[in-house]
Amino acid sequence: MKIETLQQYANHYLDGLYDPEFPNEAQCSGWHILLKMVKFDVKPFMNEKTTNLHGLHENLRSVIIEDWDNIKKLKYE
């Protein structure tokens, strides 16, 4: 599967963070956080004391941080 959009990436690599079966307004809050970060180019961070990924499950945070350079280049619908 070729990943071309942020929606495809979130569905495939982020444990179904985005579900194409639901309209945008019915997606989880984590999806909306990620979409805003991409739209406004807000680089994710996490350290021992804080993170700007509070609305995302802790298992997804490191994946997003590690792959941010690729994520931010994806188109979104």
Kindly state whether residue 40 falls inside one of the protein's structural domains.
Answer: yes
Give yes or no for a contact between 13 and 63, defined as CB atoms under 8 angstroms apart.
yes
Alpha-carbon Rg for the chain, nearest whole angstrom, is 12
Kindly state whether residue 1 falls inside one of the protein's structural domains.
Answer: no
Residue written as tokens 């495939």? 12
Please state the domain count of the chain: 1
Residue 1: the pLDDT is: 78
pTM for the predicted model, two decimal places: 0.91
Kindly state whether residue 76 falls inside one of the protein's structural domains.
Answer: no
Owning domain of residue 27: 6-71
pLDDT in tens, 7-39: 999 999 999 899 999 999 999 999 999 999 999
Kindly state whether residue 77 falls inside one of the protein's structural domains.
Answer: no
